[in-house]
């Protein structure tokens, strides 16, 4: 690789059912990211933007790339809109990293946003549903909850995963979210409540599902050399991986994991000076509780079938062996589609700088962000390390 | 810049009202691109894909990135979906170039596709319309033809551009399209026919507008070093530029040009070992006839107000001083939104290799591709040079 890339600042809106529209959310996130840089940064120093969002259907606004430049106050700035379903921001982040590695840019902004709660219900269902396979699955009635319900059933059947392990993901992530003022849900749930919640797609109940959420997040990336001008505590990108899979779940050889995650993780670690043992916390793509268990196994931390035990033992709690989603995750922080992949990096910046307050993972130096698109047809894995402090 | 990037192959479907769906179109384009490589290429050598398409609304298929990997026969390959309205493929091309410049990739595929003719009419109008400003322009009734009609009116008013110059763009591009078997329109039109065609948005008539078209195109990019293994006649990327502008036309300081094009061109030439005088042909974004005149001026070839005279004098015809859109352009070849920016590169590959047959620009060595998104809120300019032959 030509040179290293670092995060020098990040910003995050509140996640939830918000009054703001997508422009205001985006503006708020980029304003906070710009304002977060230790020694300050002029907006005129930003050379390019990358925007993750599904956007086009939900906002009734297309060519949304231009909106990022406008809300940044930098009309004219080149901006690419990257849309890889729920992994839009993960892929936008990767595009920003490549732009700096190419040598063409020194300083770029990567933002993600979604305004989900103002869509009338039929459109909302349509909008999300199209990110899975349409011809053979969606039109046959397979929703996203249905996809993950199938994966959960199969995981239980083949690997003996108990319902309590799924419920424990929700319990943990709701508990973590209460420590995160930006999180959508601020309410603890008990294992019994999760297990008794109305079924959405068996074995998944309502409390196994992430909410429909508005929000935005933004990060500023720089070459390592440039980063040192702006901060003494850059967060370095240590590895990058991305992969795809069949759009249709039925065409995959396995239903007990997401091969795209495995491929992306393999690439990210192949590239990295660190290994899985070095990772202090994981931001995993837990759109449903089962997804966090799949992630733990697909990322190579737990062996197949062991994620349940990890979770039930408390290993993934803050203070556990490998904290997962200390910010509450998609499950409880919320999952504004295009914002999620950048929101994860925001949390990692806080954690690796020791600024995560009551949810701080003690001594965190290395972290992993994992973003999945559609029903597992796209995935990114990005590794981060605290720079010399 | 770390290293140079080259095009080693390209493929193109027929453009028109086609029976194929988006998957088949995409497959056909990538198959042809792979098959076009002089010394052959294994699909397994391709490391990543970039897909330009509006896609999501038109196909009822989301997370379309995965579809490129599937149709390439490379499920698992990382693919990013780039959506910058009508400049989607121009920005996807740029993303592919950055991926190679970053040092992470040696060989990537960039494809663009749009299936436009199977959308029911109201959806089709909605779908394209969202790529302009929604809140203040689209909902007030400003269509894309309306935007370009305004630009044409203002250009005529301020710079004296005669209606005959607009008509001559259509006449030339229809004539060129007859030399291109892939073009949607295969019918010559006369200046009188264009001038007498039903008004769509005065001063633009039906024959001033590009058609609604299905089609796909793909190119393979490699680092210069890797390219030499596959071909003795790589087409080198000589410059890259991209820019944005306000989403709303009314917020711009000028209506006689597209500032995003000017900015993108300035960046592309700043970066390049060649200047405007070296360019032998231009693939310009002529979604409406006026757009080709704007492009000639905004790209810095003609002075403001002079594009009309260039056009009327025959300078932009094949055989003229600076041939523009020898393949028929968006106007007559057709404009399948997400395919256009890659389709332009396909034509440039043919031209710079001397393989453009009856529409060959004699001795062409350097070319420019210009792709515009929305009503000018995004633009890319990419320069190409024939490698040593």
DSSP secondary structure letters along B328-364: -IIIII---GGGHHHHHHHHHHHHHTT--GGG--TT-
Residues in chain B: 389
pLDDT of residue B60: 60
**In chain B, pLDDT over 90 holds for what percent of residues?**
86
Distances (CA, A) of A250 to A160, A209, A338, B68, B294: 21, 22, 25, 18, 50
For residues B170 and A62, what is the distance between their CA atoms, to the nearest angstrom?
A: 28
Domain that holds residue B228: 5-120+213-235
For residues A295 and A370, what is the distance between their CA atoms, to the nearest angstrom?
A: 8
H or E stretch including B65?
helix B65-71
Residue B65: which of A95, A97, A244 has the nearest Cβ? A244
Angle at B259 between CA B254 and CA B264, to 5 degrees: 175
ipTM: 0.96
DSSP alpha helices (H): ranges in chain A? 22-35, 56-59, 65-71, 88-101, 121-129, 144-159, 163-177, 191-196, 224-230, 259-270, 289-298, 307-312, 329-333, 340-352
Q: Which of B57, B45, B51, B7 is nearest to B25 (CA)?
A: B51
Work out the minimum CA distance from B133 to partner chain A, whole angstroms. 7
Q: What's the average model confidence in pLDDT over B347-375?
A: 97
**pLDDT tens, position by position, B84-138:** 999 999 999 999 999 999 999 999 999 999 988 876 655 555 566 667 887 788 8
Query: Per the CB < 8 Å rule, is B62 touching A85?
Result: yes
Angle of helix B340-352 relative to helix B88-101, nearest 10 degrees, comes to 60
**In chain A, pLDDT over 90 holds for what percent of residues?**
86
Q: Helix, strand or coil for residue B49?
A: strand
Residue B76: which of A76, A104, A245 has the nearest Cβ? A245
Residue bearing the bigger pLDDT, A1 or B21? B21
Residue A373 in domain: yes
**pLDDT tens, position by position, B150-166:** 999 999 999 999 999 99
Query: Per the CB < 8 Å rule, is B63 touching A1?
Result: no
Residues B223 and B99: beta-carbon distance below 8 Å: no
Residue A90 in domain: yes
Query: Per the CB < 8 Å rule, is B62 touching A374?
Result: yes
Q: Please tell me whether residues A102 and A227 are part of one structural domain.
A: yes
Residues of A whose CB is below 8 A from B57: 56-57
Q: What's the average model confidence in pLDDT over A335-355?
A: 97
Q: Tokens 């005129």 label which residue?
A: A44
Residues of A whose CB is below 8 A from B240: 104
Distances (CA, A) of B373 to A80, B16, B246, B314: 11, 21, 12, 28
Q: Please tell me whether residues A107 and A137 are part of one structural domain.
A: no
pLDDT of residue B389: 47
Residues B373 and B257: beta-carbon distance below 8 Å: no
Q: Tokens 């909008």 label which residue?
A: A127
Residue B19 burial class via C-beta count within 10 angstroms: exposed 0-12, middle 13-18, buried 19 and up: exposed
Residues A48 and A76: beta-carbon distance below 8 Å: no
Q: Please tell me whether residues B175 and B246 are part of one structural domain.
A: yes
Work out the minimum CA distance from A56 to partner chain B, whole angstroms. 7
For residues A247 and A373, what is the distance between their CA atoms, to the nearest angstrom?
A: 10
If you average pLDDT over every residue of chain A, what do you get? 94
Q: Tokens 């050399």 label which residue?
A: A225
Angle at B344 between CA B339 and CA B349, to 5 degrees: 125
Reading the block at residue A53, the tokens are 């969002």
Q: Please tell me whether residues A80 and A166 are part of one structural domain.
A: no
For residues B53 and B49, what is the distance between their CA atoms, to the nearest angstrom?
A: 13
Reading the block at residue A270, the tokens are 């192949």
pLDDT of residue B137: 87
Q: At B208, is the pLDDT very low, low, confident or very high (cuts 50, 70, 90)? A: very high
Residues of B whose CB is below 8 A from A134: 59-62
Q: Please tell me whether residues B97 and B227 are part of one structural domain.
A: yes
Work out the minimum CA distance from A317 to partner chain B, whole angstroms. 31
Distances (CA, A) of B22 to B71, B123, B162, B167: 10, 17, 40, 32
Q: Which of B86, B209, B210, B287 is catalytic?
A: B86
B351 pLDDT higher than 50 = yes
**Highest-confidence segment of A40-44, A115-119, B143-147:** A40-44
Work out the minimum CA distance from A99 to partner chain B, whole angstroms. 6
Work out the minimum CA distance from A246 to partner chain B, whole angstroms. 6
Distances (CA, A) of B59 to A126, A362, B118, B124: 12, 48, 9, 11
For residues B284 and B87, what is the distance between their CA atoms, to the nearest angstrom?
A: 12
Residues of B whose CB is below 8 A from A130: 56, 60-63
Q: Which of A339, A224, A227 is nearest to A283 (CA)?
A: A339
Q: Please tell me whether residues A285 and A331 are part of one structural domain.
A: yes
pLDDT of residue A389: 47
**pLDDT tens, position by position, A39-98:** 999 999 999 999 999 875 455 667 889 999 999 999 999 999 999 999 999 999 999 999
Q: Please tell me whether residues B59 and B190 are part of one structural domain.
A: no
Residue B332 burial class via C-beta count within 10 angstroms: exposed 0-12, middle 13-18, buried 19 and up: buried
What's the distance, CA A139 to chain centroid? Answer: 27
Work out the minimum CA distance from A363 to partner chain B, whole angstroms. 31
Active site residues of A: 86, 335
pLDDT of residue B123: 53
Q: Please tell me whether residues A177 and A51 are part of one structural domain.
A: no
Q: Please tell me whether residues A221 and A314 are part of one structural domain.
A: no
Q: Please tell me whether residues B272 and B165 are part of one structural domain.
A: yes
Q: What's the average model confidence in pLDDT over B253-276?
A: 97
Phi, psi of B32 (to 5 degrees): -65, -40
**Positive or negative, the Cα torsion across B292, B298, B302, B306?**
positive
Residue A389 in domain: no
A231 pLDDT higher than 70 = yes
Residue A26 in domain: yes
Q: Which of B176, B147, B126, B145 is nearest to B281 (CA)?
A: B176
Other beta carbons within 10 angstroms of residue A368's beta carbon come to: 30
Interface test with B, best of A62, A73, A378 (most B CBs within 10 A): A62
Q: At B139, is the pLDDT very low, low, confident or very high (cuts 50, 70, 90)? A: confident
Query: Per the CB < 8 Å rule, is B243 touching A101?
Result: no
Give me the residues paired with residue A366 across strands. Answer: A385
Q: Chain A to chain B, count of Cβ pairs less than 8 Å apart?
A: 194
Residues of B whose CB is below 8 A from A94: 80
**In chain A, pLDDT over 70 holds for what percent of residues?**
94
- The question of whether B157 is a catalytic residue gets the answer no
Residue B126 in domain: no
Residue B317 in domain: yes
Residue B281 in domain: yes
Q: What's the average model confidence in pLDDT over B193-222?
A: 97
**pLDDT tens, position by position, A158-200:** 999 999 999 999 999 999 999 999 999 999 999 999 999 999 9
- The question of whether B287 is a catalytic residue gets the answer no
Query: Per the CB < 8 Å rule, is A99 touching B98?
Result: yes
Reading the block at residue B380, the tokens are 């890319």
Q: Helix, strand or coil for residue B218?
A: strand
Residue B57: which of A56, A129, A259 has the nearest Cβ? A56
Residue A240: closest C-alpha in chain B: B104
Residue A340 in domain: yes
pLDDT of residue A136: 84
Residue A61: which of B48, B95, B130 has the nearest Cβ? B130
**pLDDT tens, position by position, A243-270:** 999 999 999 999 999 999 999 999 999 9
Q: Please tell me whether residues A183 and A231 are part of one structural domain.
A: no
Residues of B whose CB is below 8 A from A143: none
Work out the minimum CA distance from A152 to partner chain B, whole angstroms. 22
If you average pLDDT over every residue of chain B, what do you get? 94
CATH number for the domain spanning B258: value is 3.40.47.10
Q: Tokens 């549903």 label which residue?
A: A129
Q: At B280, is the pLDDT very low, low, confident or very high (cuts 50, 70, 90)? A: very high
Q: Please tell me whether residues B28 and B166 are part of one structural domain.
A: no
Angle at A65 between CA A61 and CA A70, to 5 degrees: 90
Strands A107-114 vs A378-386: parallel, antiparallel or unpaired: unpaired
B57 pLDDT higher than 60 = no
Residue A131: which of B63, B85, B264 has the nearest Cβ? B63
Residues of A whose CB is below 8 A from B378: 63, 65-66, 79
Q: Which of B81, B174, B184, B335 is catalytic?
A: B335
Residues B328 and B344: beta-carbon distance below 8 Å: no
Q: At A113, is the pLDDT very low, low, confident or very high (cuts 50, 70, 90)? A: very high
Residues in chain A: 389
Interface test with A, best of B47, B66, B131 (most A CBs within 10 A): B66
Q: What's the average model confidence in pLDDT over B281-310?
A: 98
What's the distance, CA A239 to chain centroid? Answer: 16
Interface test with A, best of B27, B56, B78 (most A CBs within 10 A): B78
What's the distance, CA A109 to chain centroid? Answer: 17
pLDDT of residue A55: 75
For residues B38 and A16, what is the distance between their CA atoms, to the nearest angstrom?
A: 54
Q: How many domains does chain A contain in total?
A: 2
Cis peptide bond prior to A203, omega within 30° of 0: yes
């Amino acid at each position: 690789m030509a040179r290293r890339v670092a995060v020098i600042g990040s910003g995050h809106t509140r996640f939830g059912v918000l009054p703001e529209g997508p422009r205001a959310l985006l503006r708020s996130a980029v304003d906070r990211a710009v304002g977060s840089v230790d020694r300050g940064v002029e907006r005129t120093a930003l050379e390019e933007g990358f925007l993750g969002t599904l956007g086009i259907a939900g906002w009734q606004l297309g060519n949304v790339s231009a909106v990022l430049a406008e809300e940044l106050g930098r009309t004219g700035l080149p901006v690419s809109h990257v849309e890889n379903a729920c992994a839009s921001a993960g892929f936008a982040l990767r595009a920003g990293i490549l732009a700096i590695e190419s040598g063409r840019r020194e300083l770029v902004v990567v933002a993600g946003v979604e305004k989900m709660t103002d869509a009338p219900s039929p459109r909302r269902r349509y909008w999300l549903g199209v990110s899975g396979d349409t011809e053979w699955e969606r039109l046959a009635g397979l929703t996203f909850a249905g996809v993950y319900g199938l994966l959960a059933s199969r995981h239980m059947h083949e690997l003996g995963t108990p319902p309590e392990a799924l419920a424990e993901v929700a319990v943990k992530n709701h508990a973590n979210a209460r420590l995160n003022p930006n999180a959508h849900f601020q309410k603890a749930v008990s294992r019994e409540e999760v297990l008794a919640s109305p079924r959405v797609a068996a074995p998944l109940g309502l409390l196994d599902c992430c909410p429909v959420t508005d929000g935005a997040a933004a990060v500023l990336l720089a070459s390592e050399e440039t980063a040192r001008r702006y901060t003494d505590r850059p967060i370095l990108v240590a590895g990058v991986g991305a992969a795809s899979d069949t759009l249709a779940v039925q065409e995959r050889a396995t239903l007990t994991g997401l091969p795209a995650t495995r491929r992306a993780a393999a690439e990210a670690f192949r590239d990295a000076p660190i290994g899985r043992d070095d990772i202090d916390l994981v931001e995993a793509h837990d759109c449903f509780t089962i997804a966090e268990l799949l992630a733990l196994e697909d990322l190579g931390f737990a062996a197949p079938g062991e994620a349940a035990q990890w979770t039930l033992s408390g290993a993934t709690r803050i203070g556990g062996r490998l904290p997962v989603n200390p910010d509450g995750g998609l499950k409880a922080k919320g999952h504004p589609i295009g914002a999620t992949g950048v929101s994860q990096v925001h949390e990692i910046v806080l954690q690796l700088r020791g600024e995560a307050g009551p949810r701080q993972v003690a001594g965190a130096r290395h972290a992993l962000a994992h973003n999945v698109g559609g029903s597992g047809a796209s995935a990114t894995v990005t590794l981060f390390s605290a720079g010399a402090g």
